[in-house]
Each structure stands twice: as C-alpha cells, then as structure tokens.
Amino acid sequence: MPNPGEEPPRSEPEREARRPGSARPARERRDGDVPSLCPPPPPASSPPRILSMAELLETAQEVSKMTIAHEIVINRDFKLQEVNFSPNSLEGRVKETLHKAFWDSLKEQLSASPSDYTHAIQLLQEIKETLLLLLLPRQSRLRSQIEEVLDMKLIRQEAEHGALDIPNLTAYILGTMAMLCAPIRDEEVQRLRSVTDTVQLLREIFRVLDLMKMDMVNFTIQSLRPHLQDHAVQYEQKKFQELLPKLPTGLDHTTEWLRKAAAEVCVSMSSSPSHSPAPLVPGAVSRRSTTPSPMSVLNHGYLNLLHWEPGKEEYPETLLMDQARLQEVQLQVYQLTIIAAVLLVSSSVCGSALFCSAGFVDRLKRVTKVLLEGLPHTRFPEAVLDISNHVQQEVREALLQLGSPALSSDKSASLKGQIRNIAEKDNGVRRVIEQRIHSFLTLHLVPEAQSSSSLPKSLAPIQEELLDVGRRFSCVIHHNWQVYGPYYMAILKTVLPPVESEAGIDSV
C-alpha cells in the first residue's frame, strides 16, 4: 500500500509513457468533451530495413507480378505489344548492330565450303522450342510430329555429314506456323513462302514467331481475366502485405496524404458546419457533425490526386500502380475544365442564337480540344492564347454564314479577354467549372448517388467525355478501396479525433 499523498507505483508501460520524449497515452474522452478538429501527428515509424541485392531483385520481381495482375484487371484493353525502338535511339542502334553481326556471321557459315551449321542448328533448336511452346495441351499429335521432324540429334548427324536440308526444314516450319498462328498472322506467314534467301528467311521466321508468342500471351491474358477479376483483391492484398515490410518508406506517404486530406476537411467543416463531403459507402457519416467521417476524408484525398504536383509531393504507396492512370485522368480533367470554361464564356458573350446553330458548339469544342491535345497542363496557359484567336475566327465565320452582324469591337475584345483570363488558376469561371466537375466525380465515388445525379447545364457540352472520365476514375478508386481499405481505416484512426462508436470506422 502506498503512503497517503504518495504517487502509486506505475506499471512498466505507464513508466515508459512518462519518460521525456515519449508519446503520451491517449486520454480517455469524457462526456461533454469536444474533440479537436486538428488531426494529431502521425505515429513515429521505425527506420527501413536495408535489403540485400538478392532481396531487392526478388522484391522487384514480386512488384512486377503484382503490377501486371493489377493492370490486367483494371485495364480491359491491356495487351502486350512489340517494342519498337527508334532507329536513331541508342537501343535501336545497338540492337541493329548486334543483329546484323549475327546474321552476317550465319551467312558466312552457310556460304563456307564445306558449310558450317553451328549457328543454324542453334536457330533450329530455338524454333522447335518456340513451336512447342505455342501448342495447346490437346495438340499431342502435332507435338509428336514436331519432335520427330525437328529431331535435333538427327539434325546434328545430318550436319556432320553435309546432308542437312535446311529448305525442307523451313518449309515444314512454315506449314506448322500456318496451322498455329492467329488469323491476323496468316498474311505474314504466307509472305514468308516467297523468301528464297535462307538467312533472310530464318530471320523473318524468328520475327513472326515473336509476334505469334505475343498473340498467345494476349490470348492467355484474355482467358485468365475473369479468373483474375474474381481473385484480384485477395491476391493484391496478400502480395502487398508481403511487400510492405520491404518498402523503404512503409506507408509514410499514404499517411501524410490522408493527414493533409483530414486537415482540409476539418477546415472546411469548421468554416461551413453544414457541409459534409459525400461518403464512399453507406453508413460512413460520423455521428458527430463536428468530426469528419473517415470516408469523407478518403474521398477528399482521392480528389486531391487530381491536383497532384509532381516533384512537390510524394505519391501514396498504395496508389503507385495507378499513378500514371490517375495522372491521365488529372490531365483530362484540366482539359475538360478549359473546354467547358471556353464554351461558357463564348456563350455568354455571343448569345444563345449563335450557340443554337447547327454544329457550332461541336466545332468550337473540337478546335479547343485539338489545341490542348498532347500538351502537359503546365502549357495550357500558352494554348489558351491560341484558343482565343481561333474562337474569334470561328465566331466570325459562323455569324457570316448565318447572315448575322459581326460582333462589335467591344464584344470582340471582351470575348478575347475573358477567354485569355481562363489561363489564370484563380479565374472565376474556371474555378466554378472545376468545382462542378469535381462534384460530379465525387458522385462517381458513391454508386448509390450516380443514378440521382444531374449534370449542370454548363457541363452539358462535355457530358460524354466527363462520363468516360468518371467511369475510369471510379473504377480505379473502387478497386483501390477494396484492396487497401483496411490500411486506410487503420491510418484514419490515428489522424482523426477520437469519437465514440464512430460509424465509418467501427462499422466498416
């Protein structure tokens, strides 16, 4: 028993918590307490473990497998394609030099007296292996035939006695390729029959066989896609759990991303208590209006990715596989914002009569889109100057065709000036359009809200493009949530103020 007035002895965890520099244990919240709107600092992370070269290679291989599986599931158009280096690139020059040296060497060997079949036999061995690789399990008879005709032991014996008949073997190889190739390669294989030079024929056979291997891989991908879609979430969760201890930063960037989103949502709620971003799943709204729901914070974080500035912030670890995809969505949102803003300004200056004329809006939209196509968003301000000139020209020609009077000099100057002002980030029209596009995309994060959503009139001209962007954005986000939702909820528990029975964390 401690003496009166004496502090009772503390347990080891309590003593650890009271040491200088240690984190204080969370105070139990009492009734009547109002939680702070400012998120607490993130928990300290342990230093990353240094990996050996073997572990790095193994990790890279696992990341590659995970990325390919993820790409197959998310990208319905995913397929392997032939890599074509530019002839002037270093890779292209090295490849061409090495290939030329090999085929020149083969030509010298076959032209020698007696012929040297060393390289030719190696090529026939590789061709045989490739043909066997292209066979389906049920094609056992054809497999036996290939093994018999391209019997490498017999071929070496024939080469030693100068009796190797390469034209006869290549004829059989072409016939087998014609049976195995996809219809799209029929013409390629048929064209090979007209090649008379042995070296050139072997070189072309290898080129077409590479294409056939790619066709087989893409066919396999298409066949596996339904199976992968059924198991993708579990597979990615398992792989990420294995890879997480090997990540140099752990989930530091993901935590910082959610901390920033939480702080911004808190500020928004404190300035406008009635405002609450849409939740991603039903029942995710916090019971206390003074505290943001976890899902509203996560939604806000997802939308923040559409403002990401490369080089200034680190991308969340959980979204690295989708970074390029989301940056493409980000660029399209920038483009659609400029296009919609240009059309809105032009409509307000020129009047509804001109905008109701057949094809005018489509022409204006097409011109604006072409001038923005292929440009990074950092060069959009320069493009807006050209857009203003082209819009004026389109308006002038449209009025002339309608037999209407041309715009006055004041209106013409106003049109050009207002369009050029769209280049400014704080331009009123641009900000309104951007907010409406983001609100529309937010609804795509809530499947239940999409059916009741209505497109603002200012976005009607870009409706088709906006729906496509919304579908692609929501596809990535929902898959990401399915895979990494438990990690996000664990992090959000540390960055949001504690709330009793918080729906959205406890209920998910």
Please spell the DSSP secondary structure of 51-112, one letter per residue.
PPHHHHHHHHHHHHHHHHHHHHHH-TT---------TTSHHHHHHHHHHHHHHHHHHHHHHS
Mean pLDDT of all residues in 184-205: 91
Lowest-confidence range among 52-61, 247-256, 305-314?
A: 52-61
Name the token pair of 21: 């520099």
Mean pLDDT of all residues in 366-375: 88
pLDDT-derived band at 63, boundaries 50, 70, 90: low
Better pLDDT: 498 or 365 = 365
Collapsing DSSP to helix, strand or coil, 45 comes out as coil
Q: What's the pLDDT at 59?
A: 56
pTM, 2 dp: 0.65
Residue 19 has pLDDT above 60, yes or no: no
Q: Are 232 and 70 in contact (CB under 8 A)?
A: yes
| Crossing angle for the helix pair 360-372 and 323-350, to the nearest 10 degrees | 140
Better pLDDT: 190 or 443 = 190
Better pLDDT: 285 or 139 = 139
Residue 98 has pLDDT above 60, yes or no: yes
Cα separation, 365 vs 241, in Å, equals 46
Q: What's the pLDDT at 20?
A: 38
Percentage of the residues of the chain whose pLDDT score is greater than 90: 26
Q: What's the pLDDT at 454?
A: 67
Mean pLDDT of all residues in 32-60: 46
Q: What's the pLDDT at 38?
A: 40
Residue 505 has pLDDT above 60, yes or no: no
Q: What is the mean pLDDT of the chain?
A: 78
Cα separation, 415 vs 361, in Å, equals 16
Q: What's the pLDDT at 69?
A: 67
Mean pLDDT of all residues in 18-42: 39
Which of 18-32, 214-228, 477-491 reaches the highest mean pLDDT? 477-491
Residue 158 has pLDDT above 50, yes or no: yes
Cα separation, 314 vs 304, in Å, equals 13
Task: Strands of 274-340 (E only): list them.
Answer: none
pLDDT-derived band at 448, boundaries 50, 70, 90: low
Better pLDDT: 86 or 266 = 266
Cα separation, 158 vs 50, in Å, equals 56
Cα separation, 372 vs 369, in Å, equals 5
Main-chain phi, psi angles of 356, to 5 degrees: -85, -5
